[in-house]
Structure 1
Amino acid sequence: MKNRELYKTILQLLESHKETPLSMSEICHILSIPKHKRDQTRVVLEDLIIANKLISERSKYRLKPVETKPLKAIAERSSALLEGVFDATPLARNYSYAFVKTTGGDYFVSSEDTLNAYHGDTVLFEPFLRRGKSKYCVIRRIVSRANDNLAGDIKSSDGRYYFICSNPKIHNWFDVISPSPEYDGKKVILTVSNWGNRPTAKNPTGKVTEILGESGNPEVEVLAVIRQNQLPLQFPEEVIEFALNLSEQITDADLKGREDYRKLFTFTIDPASAKDYDDAISIVKNDNGWDLYVHIADVAHYVKPESPLFIEAVNRGNSYYFPKKVIPMLPEKISNKLCSLRPNEDKLTMTVHSVLDKNGKVIRQRLFESVIHSDFRLAYEEVDDLFDGKQTDLSQELIAALNESRMLSKQLTKIRKDAGYIFFDLPEIEYVYDDEGFIKRFNLSEETESHKLIENFMLLANEFVATKLLSLSPVSIYRIHEDPDYKKIERLGNTLNSYGLQMPIRENLNKSIQAVLLAMPTPEYHTVFDRIVLRSMMKAKYTTEHVRHFGLSIENYTHFTSPIRRLCDLVIHHLCKTYVCKTNTVKFSTEQVKHYAEVSSEKEIIANDAERDVGRVYNNTYMKDKIGETYSGLVIGVNSNGLIVRLNDIPINGVLKISGLKGGAWSFLDTELRLVNKRSGDYYQLMDKVIVQVMDVSDDIYFELTQDADSHIHTYDYQASNKQTDSTTKAPKRSFSKGHSRKPKRK
């Protein structure tokens, strides 16, 4: 019996014995669990206690009763019900709580108060303000379901068939209507007919409406993620037809009012595998510095408001990028042909011309419609080879332009660093496949000098466009990153301090964070603590509210440079045409722009979740045949459920569950991020080097410590931990202004 099946069976058994707690021996006897499975049963019981499902009294187990304490005793009650979206992410990680997300912030909700909500559902909830704590709520009604068609696996047990959703945030098993042996081991689409009743342990039910293929096949698993997230694989016929009817010829009417830069030396720098090139660069050295031209494909010229193309762009929100597959925001005729700035072709563009002095300081800037003729298409690797002094076949004119670009980029980097731009050292994972589509190996993609060059130039254009629209347009979309929460920064400082990393809080908080990131002594420290610093911050988002971007340390910021793949950028182009270039007669209403900002943020979250799910699919597929193998690793995360370990030889994370640690009685210290054994004082912490064995690959990758992995264990000093030392970081009691964000994708 698999652990997940055993969880459910034990809960059902104890539900029928509410008045009579059962010992483990009694549970095993009633369920006919053989002796060699007793250890597995003990682990499941411990997991259920950690998950707040059971309580243990004198070696006997029973269901944890639902809290009956009057709400007025713990909270200040509100009479009105509010609407929000249920987020089950913490439940998927075995925590006993979840969140309800609203435009006014997140509300904490205990697992007992989730009613029958599933991840993504729109719910009505009753809010409470708990004294001295975060906002709390109780879900009262389900308004609408996020998705009635779920992707997942069919499993059989004792002659019964169950559906397990591929999304771990949909954490219940589903009973299958009219099951068939042909479903066993298949990845399917289940159409839910009844969502069951979680409080009474009644399973939801559904019917298989489509078989996607064999479970475990990477392409099938990726398709399941796409279907689960309701991503549009096909364009509607009217959208394709509209795109195909667009002329590829540039007419005199198209050129009217545009500045002609077809004779200006121009080039693009993109990934080697890219097919859409939406930005190009021209640079001219002058007596006092440089003239920099950032040319962006004029997608808005072809994608007019209210056209089928624009409506579909709003529906998609952005392009979705997966290993070996892209779901574009716009049809290929637009993204790869009309608006791709391919070499030796005339293309319509929007250009930001910046005049900068020799120190990289902006003297003046302007934005206008243009036409260009790109001379060269470069890959990042080619540019880096030149910068590294390797032999190159590039022309002298191109080499000169790249060297000037490099010098300007260095000046811009210095300016941004001085302003408080926060740089994170977080390499991306690249997958290398064999001929059958399975992962052969992993590469870590570092941000190189060529990437930073393009990023610097795009930031310059985005910042100017945001500033221009702020002064001219009645409404705009901004890419904002709000300042971190005071308590989170204070907590971050204390956590870093416990690992010997000092973060003195200055008036310029950006500088404080910059300093601690630069002080990381080894790459391992960056692997662990860059992520912790990042998680202490807010998430970047799109909004019509003007708020500074904390992470970039920029007062005015938007996204203008990728209209092929982002709705925000496309809308910004139309606003520029209306209020800056004055060539657009269409004016968006304030409500329309607000809607586009909301869609952009919502779709970005979906894209990030889907890309993360696909990464998990590939990682799990790769590790399934590694069960039993031993690896060295680094502890990069600690929580109340256990340890997160990053393998050294493979850039993959796995879980060391607390129930698998020897000695029992482990306690989580959330400020220091340590697991401490109450009996022995031994503890595990971040940066610990461990030897682990791969034990299971299911919804996640699970490790166990090997026999020889105990030598690193530390002994905890409880007395010292309770003393307030002079070196403890304390944040000043002040309110931060506006804005923070994760470092945006390049460009």
Structure 2
Amino acid sequence: MARKKKRRKKRPAYLDLPLPEAIKGAMREAGRPLLLRELYHLLHIPKEERASFRRLVKGLAARGELIHIKGRRYGLPEEMPLVTGRLSVHPEGYGFVNPEDEKAPTVFIPPGRLKGALDGDLVVARIERRTKKGPEGTVIRILERRRKRIVGFFYRSRKVSTVIPEDERLPVEILIPPGEERGAEDGEMVVAEITDFSPGRRIPEGRVVEVLGDPEDLQTQAKAVIYNYELPHRWSRRVREELARLPDEVRPEDKAGRRDLTRVPLVTIDGESARDFDDAVCVRRTRTGYKLYVAIADVSHYVKPGSALDREAYERGTSVYFPNMVVPMFPEKLSNGLCSLNPQVERLALTVEMDFDREGNLRRSRFYPAVIRSHARLTYNEVKAMLVDRDRELRKKYKPLLRMLEAAAELAQLLRKRRLSRGSIDFDLPEPEVVLDLQGEIRDIVRRERHLAHFLIEEFMIAANEAVARYLEERGYPFLYRVHEAPDPVKIREFVEFARTLGLDLEAPVEPTPAWVQEVIRLAEGRPYAYLVNMLLLRSMKQAQYSPENIGHFGLASACYCHFTSPIRRYPDLVVHRTLKTALKRKRPPYPYEKLVEMGKHLSQRERTAMEAEREMLERVQVRFMQEHLGETFTGIISGVTAFGFFVELEEYFVSGLVRLTDLHDDYYFLDEKNHRLVGRRTGRLFQIGQRVRVRVKEVNLRRRQITFELVEPRP
């Protein structure tokens, strides 16, 4: 009788995977939560490796990839009614868990079920019921606290001191024990660090780590924004040591191998309050057209890759500009001194020299390191006064530079005409400019003027950026492009539907093009709602970002673009400078493609964070400014309608506020969402987007940064 062959047990496929994936594979095959000892057995983990294996499993659980459940077991979140994600908390006390897995649903967390979780925390939520609006659940575990430090108001009483967070999405008080107040006075703004918020504890305990000062002071408000957005703002000891080793001025040895452009009449043109000058320009008429020099501060000569200065600049990514201060990317010795193209001093520069014909077509580009001397520090208004207003005194003062400036204006207008003809988008979006007095108090918020001098610098910087990008691309050097994707057709269709309610006769394009966007801007030009159309059209666009993959720049209608002209305040420009220098020497690229992918993501995120911080600081300034205008009347445009009222953008001050329905006593109003308007049930009276109205400043809530208006009279 033949003996049956013993079948060999098939080796599980998960054993061939990397260990983190093998753990998940073993769990999927088991079909149930597993103990650590079961995982040891299934994955053949020897005794001497079990300690490191346990650390790996705990790390996966800390990141939410596994869930640690009762009975010392670990499970897969996708196999349980659990969702891992960031918690977003509303001031009313409820929240939403936004899952990291885009396919998973957002979970609503009712008040009382946050279990000590704060806005921004990484949490695990258990889904407890499903409603028509979506799943509802409870936070069961906090995996990571997003906010290590919290800005708030310090209050001292006889027995206890507390910090109440400024952000209303943090509905907790922080108990400050005696001795942990750091000298804070009652009512001051402080930064508190939570030291104990263990499960089951109703009130977290903490300590004051920094006293910011009087909440009414603008400097205090700027510090609050810095901490809210976790902006690096102090220089490490190593940075200070490196800084001390740098010279104060250009040395003879620094000039070696550089072209001497000190006699070329380069000038800087910036705003009145600018202190760092990283670009200088000069234009000469030639027999065939124009020669343009764009000289950019050579920061890369002083800041070496991997140095403490370099690491700190990369972490910051960009300078952040507030009305009353700057959080710089580089210390002042570099940004305002050694690398700033200050007038009448020698400075190192990386120069782009471009030849154009009489129609503004680029014929030739050259790139080289140089030594320059800025012949004048001009402001935008001075250039306008000389070239447009023909100001006699200024023309006399800068007589040696007049011919050069007039040639620059001619070339800039040619370049602008060519750029717009190819479809480049020029949004007519006036920006607010905050005017401060000598004491640093808000004096006014005015329309930031854009005129010939601004266009001149814009066109020359765009030309230089494109020339550098083309040069590097043609030579196959990987670098960071400045890319801007075409807008989502769905968003464009939504915009078109909205625009039709304003009376604009538009058809949604199959594929949006810059020329189509440009035509929309032209159609809205001169109408009361032009600003609104421009703003909403801009919001329908995608954000520009940094990437080593060239997909073009939609907004500029440019096939090849990068940022090269501001290395003092933008790290991507420094990356391009280093790449250009190696390309000119025909050396190996300084950055591999994979590294640039990572850098592009980080630097795009730092740019977004800086923009959000600047926007919040502007809002803080705006509400403080409007507090001085309580009871005053202004004209504005309705910029948004909701079921509870409509938002009005003031024409004079670029400040937005809300007119509440509860303050409209003449009728009951309902929201007509399709047509973006509120309609009176009895009178048929309309309040719709784009309508001009007269409003009075009724109330200003500094803490919530909210401005409430009341209607005075509608104006056709």
User: Aligned AA for 2:564?
Assistant: F
Residue aligning to 2:405: 402
**Is the 2:174–2:194 Cα contact (8 Å) retained in structure 1?**
no
**Is the 1:309–1:330 Cα contact (8 Å) retained in structure 2?**
yes
User: Aligned AA for 2:645?
Assistant: G
- 2:109 maps to 1:112: yes
- What is the alpha-carbon distance in structure 2 between the residues aligned to residue 515 and residue 446 of structure 1? 23
Residue aligning to 1:569: 573
Residue aligning to 1:532: 536
Shift in Å, 1:409:
0.8
Shift in Å, 1:274:
1.8
User: Aligned AA for 2:614?
Assistant: E
| 1:559 maps to which of 546, 559, 563 | 563
* Counterpart secondary structure, 1:549: coil
- 2:704 maps to 1:702: no
- What is the alpha-carbon distance in structure 1 between the residues aligned to residue 597 and residue 551 of structure 2? 15
| 1:590 maps to which of 581, 589, 593 | 593
Shift in Å, 1:607:
1.2
Shift in Å, 1:516:
1.7
- 2:616 maps to 1:613: yes
Residue aligning to 1:433: 436
Root-mean-square deviation (Å): 3.8
Aligned CA distance change for structure 1 residues 643 and 153 (closer, same or farther; 3 Å):
farther
User: Aligned AA for 2:228?
Assistant: Q
Aligned CA distance change for structure 1 residues 556 and 585 (closer, same or farther; 3 Å):
closer
Residue aligning to 1:66: none
**Is the 1:196–1:203 Cα contact (8 Å) retained in structure 2?**
no
Aligned CA distance change for structure 1 residues 416 and 188 (closer, same or farther; 3 Å):
same
User: Aligned AA for 1:190?
Assistant: A
**Is the 1:433–1:440 Cα contact (8 Å) retained in structure 2?**
yes
- What is the alpha-carbon distance in structure 1 between the residues aligned to residue 238 and residue 573 of structure 2? 23
**Is the 1:503–1:512 Cα contact (8 Å) retained in structure 2?**
no
Residue aligning to 1:338: 338
Map Cα deviations across residues 489-526 of structure 1 (whole Å, 9 max, x no partner). Answer: 01101111110123334566212211121222436423
Map Cα deviations across residues 391-435 of structure 1 (whole Å, 9 max, x no partner). Answer: 222444411111111111111111111111111122222222334
Which protein has the larger Cα radius of gyration, Structure 1 or Structure 2? 2
Residue aligning to 1:172: 171
- What is the alpha-carbon distance in structure 2 between the residues aligned to residue 407 and residue 98 of structure 1? 56
- 2:652 maps to 1:653: no
* Counterpart secondary structure, 1:519: helix
Aligned residues: 623
Within 5 A, what are the aligned runs for 1:233-632? 233-248=233-248, 250-251=250-251, 253-388=253-388, 389-391=390-392, 392=394, 393-506=396-509, 509-522=513-526, 524-582=528-586, 587-632=590-635
Shift in Å, 1:594:
2.6
- What is the alpha-carbon distance in structure 2 between the residues aligned to residue 494 and residue 291 of structure 1? 47
User: Aligned AA for 1:185?
Assistant: G
Map Cα deviations across residues 37-96 of structure 1 (whole Å, 9 max, x no partner). Answer: xxxxxxxxxxxxxxxxxxxxxxxxxxxxxxxxxxxxxxxx966999876666xx47x898
Residue aligning to 2:218: 218
Equivalent pairs: percent with the same residue? 31
User: Aligned AA for 1:703?
Assistant: T
- What is the alpha-carbon distance in structure 2 between the residues aligned to residue 344 and residue 134 of structure 1? 66
Shift in Å, 1:704:
4.1
Map Cα deviations across residues 207-237 of structure 1 (whole Å, 9 max, x no partner). Answer: 4444322222222222222222222332112
Aligned CA distance change for structure 1 residues 495 and 435 (closer, same or farther; 3 Å):
same
Aligned CA distance change for structure 1 residues 631 and 380 (closer, same or farther; 3 Å):
closer
User: Aligned AA for 2:494?
Assistant: R
**Is the 2:492–2:540 Cα contact (8 Å) retained in structure 1?**
yes
Shift in Å, 1:158:
14
**Is the 2:260–2:372 Cα contact (8 Å) retained in structure 1?**
yes
Residue aligning to 1:633: 636
* Counterpart secondary structure, 1:479: strand
User: Mean Cα displacement is larger for which, 151-160 or 485-494?
Assistant: 151-160
Aligned CA distance change for structure 1 residues 253 and 671 (closer, same or farther; 3 Å):
farther
**Is the 1:438–1:622 Cα contact (8 Å) retained in structure 2?**
no
**Is the 1:627–1:697 Cα contact (8 Å) retained in structure 2?**
no
User: Mean Cα displacement is larger for which, 672-681 or 269-278?
Assistant: 672-681
User: Aligned AA for 1:192?
Assistant: I
**Is the 1:124–1:142 Cα contact (8 Å) retained in structure 2?**
yes
* Counterpart secondary structure, 2:507: coil
Aligned CA distance change for structure 1 residues 97 and 335 (closer, same or farther; 3 Å):
same
- What is the alpha-carbon distance in structure 2 between the residues aligned to residue 368 and residue 125 of structure 1? 58
Aligned CA distance change for structure 1 residues 426 and 126 (closer, same or farther; 3 Å):
farther
**Is the 1:491–1:671 Cα contact (8 Å) retained in structure 2?**
no
- What is the alpha-carbon distance in structure 1 between the residues aligned to residue 221 and residue 574 of structure 2? 32
User: Aligned AA for 2:280?
Assistant: A
**Is the 1:175–1:206 Cα contact (8 Å) retained in structure 2?**
yes
User: Mean Cα displacement is larger for which, 545-554 or 561-570?
Assistant: 545-554
- What is the alpha-carbon distance in structure 2 between the residues aligned to residue 469 and residue 684 of structure 1? 53
- What is the alpha-carbon distance in structure 2 between the residues aligned to residue 275 and residue 350 of structure 1? 20
Map Cα deviations across residues 439-466 of structure 1 (whole Å, 9 max, x no partner). Answer: 1222211211111110111011111222
Shift in Å, 1:135:
14
- What is the alpha-carbon distance in structure 2 between the residues aligned to residue 568 and residue 452 of structure 1? 23
- What is the alpha-carbon distance in structure 2 between the residues aligned to residue 159 and residue 530 of structure 1? 55
**Is the 1:633–1:690 Cα contact (8 Å) retained in structure 2?**
yes
**Is the 1:343–1:377 Cα contact (8 Å) retained in structure 2?**
yes
TM-score normalized by structure 2?
Answer: 0.78
Higher-RCO chain (CA-CA 8 Å, sequence separation at least 6):
1
Residue aligning to 1:144: 144
* Counterpart secondary structure, 1:352: strand
**Is the 2:177–2:205 Cα contact (8 Å) retained in structure 1?**
no
- What is the alpha-carbon distance in structure 1 between the residues aligned to residue 637 and residue 84 of structure 2? 42
* Counterpart secondary structure, 1:264: coil
User: Mean Cα displacement is larger for which, 514-523 or 558-567?
Assistant: 514-523
User: Mean Cα displacement is larger for which, 427-436 or 326-335?
Assistant: 427-436
User: Mean Cα displacement is larger for which, 145-154 or 311-320?
Assistant: 145-154
User: Aligned AA for 1:700?
Assistant: R
User: Aligned AA for 1:588?
Assistant: Y
Residue aligning to 2:192: 190
Map Cα deviations across residues 624-671 of structure 1 (whole Å, 9 max, x no partner). Answer: 344444444332222455322123443322122455444787544444
